[in-house]
Structure 1
Amino acid sequence: MSDYPKTQDLMRRGAEFLGSDYAILCGAMSWVSERNLVAAISNGGGFGVIACGAMTPELLDAEIAGTKALTDRPFGVNLITMHPQLSELIAVCAKHGVGHVVLAGGIPPKGSVEAIKAFGAKVLVFAPTIALAKKLFRSGADALVIEGMEAGGHIGPVSTSVLAQEFLPALAEEHLVFVAGGIGRGEAIAGYLEMGAAGVQLGTRFACAAESIAHPDFKKAFFRANARDAVASVQVDARLPVIPVRALKNKGTEEFTAKQREVAGLLDSGVVAMGEAQLQIEHYWAGALRRAVIDGDVEAGSIMAGQSVGMVKQEEPVAEIIDGLMAEAEAALTRR
């Protein structure tokens, strides 16, 4: 681990909170953020986060145990708030003494934050508005992640730079706020740290690391892509609200549009209720993502990627990626 005094000084609060050398979180990428990548990020001085996604409690149990076998450094677990077995997943985290739990995908259900804090873990949440962020902090959240629309996967409508300008002046003095979405170089990290961020979260830069289990064809698609290739999905029916997903444009993005029309038709005919319709959409994404990441189907699968994908040009070890980001941030702060 190298020494980057100016950057580490600005990251100190975030790094102490995470228990890592650097306040660089890895975004939870389903099928990608598993034991090998998570452990490598934590061993490299960052903070790895397991993407639980649609895992059963048994699978999460095995994944946490597998990660512990590869690192003795702190790491976290990302849980989706709409998971039907959320309480059981929290119990698995408690069993393993997980130190940090990230709640994503919506407002945490009643009692979930309390259940996590009951076994001594820290809670990280997402919030699209300052009012909701303040409410979540009052409810016990320990840190906030603000994620702009430049990110890969499920996204909101506002850019990272605008969110940072809104949230950091209002919250960063009293609370820990991590900035995410489209961050690909250390100069951007330095800028957000200077604005008051406790640290940053990156996903796309780590997706094709040497330690990532993603299929070689998935990685090659990243290496060929530029920022304009990472497009947001389109909602085709106002009655079927779909959270946009950013991924590399391919046949799969077209198939998703067709899938929405199909589900909207089932909704029209009364074959499925709204909840089931939305679940079908989520299942589509989970399956399409697996086809791309694990099977290497980069035509019909979902190649979720943020707009920083153009900065991913080759496979590199995680430690080199982290050191490169820190060196860029340090050089930027030194030039100032």
Structure 2
Amino acid sequence: MTDYAKTRGLMARGAEFLGSEYAIMCGAMSWVSERNLVSAMSNAGGFGVIACGAMTPDLLDTEIAETRKLTDKPFGVNLITMHPQLMELIEVCGKHGVTHVVLAGGIPPKGSVEAIKGHGAKVIVFAPTLALAKKLLRSGGDALVIEGMEAGGHIGPVSTSVLAQEFLPALSEDHLVFVAGGIGRGEAMAGYLEMGAVGVQLGTRFACATESIAHPDFKKAFFRANARDAVASVQVDARLPVIPVRALKNKGTEEFTAKQREVAGVLDREEIAMAEAQLQIEHYWAGALRRAVIDGDVENGSLMAGQSVGMVKEEEPVADIIAALMAESEAALTRR
């Protein structure tokens, strides 16, 4: 057994912050990042994160309680900033003593960061630009995730490698920065750690783990896919600022384009407000994702996947995936 001394040394600050053995976070994937995968991740020495998504406070309450039954290790909860019941969800996290809350999907609304910190939890934020990253860290963010456009699900326009070169030299000395997007092997992880990251976040690599409840047909679609099959959605109306979503090409990606046209038409007729229009798009994704992950409808559902999907070839236990990442990273750092 190796102790991965070089890799552990580079991720020591991140591991201490998370309270985990390794500073490897599992990205919050709606319907996938639930009690089974989250607990497996934390039990294997990584850091699991529950994807709250569109859950109600009652559903999140149950999910956290059930996850606690499966692990005594720390895990986090990812909350979407535009959720209409965000403050109630924060209260649920506080009630259960959740140690880390990840705020995703936009600038945290007034009072949300303070509410999380009031419960003694750490706040992890996302930022697409360096200026916003600095602002969020000044405003109470304890750590930052920079996520490149190679990632699955909602994405920004800039690649991970460019974000890392821009953010890490400016922030890594004084702040905790995790890198995400397109990471499928330990060699890439080692490179970002050397640049100053304190850890990494991977989603696609864990989506088809043995412990993932994703439907067997969903997993098979991942095993068949290569990097170029994971494409970003197209925005059809400039008034509808839809954040692009990366997923495997299928009928569902075409249906989303049609859905945008439908919502744009309703906007044209002034039948709904812009905020409601955006919420309709979010609800579309939640439903489409469930069809693929839970029901196994890989034709019409949303197969959200990052470009690292080509490196996912079989079902593996979470512990084996983490061990492989650490071994690859250690070998790469030893070769330097």
TM range (shorter): over 0.9
Find the aligned partners of 1:167 and 1:95 in 2 and give their Cα distance.
34
Q: Kindly indicate whether the alpha-carbon contact (under 8 Å) linking 1:250 and 1:300 is maintained by their aligned counterparts in 2.
A: yes
Find the aligned partners of 2:272 and 2:95 in 1 and give their Cα distance.
37
Q: Kindly indicate whether the alpha-carbon contact (under 8 Å) linking 1:31 and 1:290 is maintained by their aligned counterparts in 2.
A: yes
Find the aligned partners of 2:63 and 2:45 in 1 and give their Cα distance.
20
Deviation for aligned residue 1:320: 0.1
Q: Kindly indicate whether the alpha-carbon contact (under 8 Å) linking 1:223 and 1:312 is maintained by their aligned counterparts in 2.
A: yes
CA deviations 1:87-116 (Å, max 9, x no partner) are 100000100000000000000011111111
Find the aligned partners of 1:167 and 1:137 in 2 and give their Cα distance.
13
Farther off after superposition, 204-213 or 263-272: 263-272
Find the aligned partners of 1:125 and 1:270 in 2 and give their Cα distance.
34
Equivalent position of 2:249 in the other structure: 249
CA deviations 1:287-324 (Å, max 9, x no partner) are 00000000000000000000000000000000000000
Find the aligned partners of 2:279 and 2:94 in 1 and give their Cα distance.
28
Q: Figure out how many residues of one structure are paired with residues of the other and give that number.
A: 336
Find the aligned partners of 2:4 and 2:318 in 1 and give their Cα distance.
17
Equivalent position of 2:111 in the other structure: 111
Unaligned runs of 5+ in 1: none
- Map 1:1-336 → 2, pairs under 5 A: 3-336=3-336
Q: TM-score, normalised by structure 1?
A: 0.99
Deviation for aligned residue 1:86: 0.5
Deviation for aligned residue 1:2: 5.2
CA deviations 1:10-54 (Å, max 9, x no partner) are 000000000000000000000000000000000011000000000
Q: TM-score, normalised by structure 2?
A: 0.99
CA deviations 1:45-87 (Å, max 9, x no partner) are 1000000000011100100010000001110000000001111
SS in 1 for 2:11: helix
Unaligned runs of 5+ in 2: none
Please report the RMSD computed on the Cα atoms of aligned residues, expressed in angstroms: 0.7
Deviation for aligned residue 1:149: 0.1
Find the aligned partners of 2:214 and 2:319 in 1 and give their Cα distance.
18
CA deviations 1:114-156 (Å, max 9, x no partner) are 1111111100000111111111111111000000000000000
Q: Kindly indicate whether the alpha-carbon contact (under 8 Å) linking 1:2 and 1:323 is maintained by their aligned counterparts in 2.
A: no
Find the aligned partners of 2:113 and 2:263 in 1 and give their Cα distance.
33
SS in 1 for 2:173: coil
Q: Percent identity?
A: 87
Find the aligned partners of 2:2 and 2:204 in 1 and give their Cα distance.
23
Find the aligned partners of 1:53 and 1:214 in 2 and give their Cα distance.
16
CA deviations 1:138-182 (Å, max 9, x no partner) are 111100000000000000000000000000000000000000000
> Residue type of the partner of 2:152?
G
Runs of 4+ in 1 over 3 A off after TM superposition: none
